[in-house]
Chains A and B, each alone.
Chain A
């Protein structure tokens, strides 16, 4: 049976496990696997960008329920209509690790993602589309959570 896993891809992450507790593994911020040259944005940068985005009619659509019974399983989907969207990112402001997911959009793949996230408590879900020049286009939705989902 041929090797079912690209060994070079796996070796990039050697040593990353101990960093995982700090958030998205820091060692991965500039791996060859990611086409984007930028590091993870901070929540503060995303909140600043949100202020800018709201002033310019964002073309990013965030679909998340206003009320979530179970904070451990909150469905979320994002789609960006902004040309040149290089990444989609999902943040939750009340989480101990605010960045939930960073999707690097390859050529030929739509800037669309649906998944399920955890929310520690009621808070704001922020969806960001990052273009190749580094600009963040952000939309946000407040979600009320009945039961916190992190522990």
Chain B
């Protein structure tokens, strides 16, 4: 399945980087019935990691209880404008997606 790019906004204010991420993904719970195909199997992002070079600034595991097209907001210190953040996820089928953004 082709997944759309992760949308990332990383703003540096007073030494803290404020990050907002949107990860397009169907996040099927496995409990939805589609009129055409019946019960739609579960398919959800299971792990997300955000790194700044070798440093991990965010790591989370998710279940089916996170909404479709998950959004995340978090904050961390110790970075400079111009540095590059990488957001990576893996889902319950083993599909992966990784996208970068520059801290502004």
Q: Which residues on A are within 8 Å of B, measured CB to CB?
A: 4-6, 9-10, 13-14, 16-17, 20-21, 23-25, 28, 33-34, 72-74, 77, 90, 92, 95-104, 106, 108-110, 112-119, 149-151
Contacts and interface: CB of A to CB of B under 8 A. Distances in A.
Nearest to B99: A4
B104 interface: no
Task: Tell me if B's interface is mostly helix, strand, loop or mixed.
Answer: strand
Contacts of B49: 9, 33
Contact of A20 (B59, B75, B92): B92
Contacts, number: 142
Interface of B: 16, 29-33, 42, 44, 46-47, 49, 55-68, 70-78, 88, 90, 92-94, 96, 98
Contacts of B73: 77, 112-115
Contacts of A20: 42, 44, 46, 92
B88 A6 contact: yes
